[in-house]
Amino acid sequence: MNSPTVSLESPDQSEVIALIEALDAYQVPLYPAESHHGIDIKALSSKNTGFAVARSSDGEAVACGALVVHATHGELKRMFTQPAFRGQGLAGRILGVLEDEARRRGCGRVMLETGYLQHEAISFYERNGYQRRGPFGDYQDDPNSVFMEKALMS
C-alpha cells in the first residue's frame, strides 16, 4: 500500500473545495463572524499563494494548507485534515512543504492566525517551532485569535 502524498496543487478542485467547506463547517459555529479570517478559492488560487494537498494512498484529498506570500513574510491559511486521517503526520508534512515553499519564495518567517479554541492546532504549531506574538498585517487584536510566527532558517 502506498503512503499518502503531499504536493503543491491547485485549490480549485471539487474535492479540495470540500475540504475547505469541512473546515468552515467546523470553525464557523465556534467564533463570531468578525473573528473569521479564512480566504476563498479565488484568493487561494492567486500567484502569491502556494497550496498543498495531502492525498491518501487511493488518491483522495484528505488534508490541505496554504501559504500566502506577503512583502515581509509568509502566512499560513486553511490548514485542515479530515478527522479520519488525523494522527498520521499529514499536517506536519503539509507544514514542511509550505515552509519549504516559503523559503523558496524568499520568506524569512511564517506567521499565522488561529482561533483560541483550536487547542490541537496551537499545540501542533508550538511543537513545530511557532511562538505566540501579537497581531500582524491587517489583523486587529482579537480575544478569539492566537497569532504565531516562526523564523525560517535558509
Residues whose CB is less than 8 angstroms from the CB of residue 147 and which lie 6 or more positions away in sequence, other chains included: 111, 112, 113, 132, 133, 134, 135, 136, 139
Q: What is the pLDDT of residues 26-65, one digit of tens each?
A: 999 999 999 999 999 999 999 999 999 999 999 999 999 9
Collapsed DSSP state (helix, strand, coil) of residue 61: strand
Global pTM? 0.95
Domain count for the chain, please give it: 1
CB 145, CB 38: distance < 8 Å: no
Which residues form the domain of 10?
Answer: 5-151
Q: Could you tell me the CATH number of the domain that includes residue 39?
A: 3.40.630.30
Q: 154 pLDDT exceeds 70? A: no
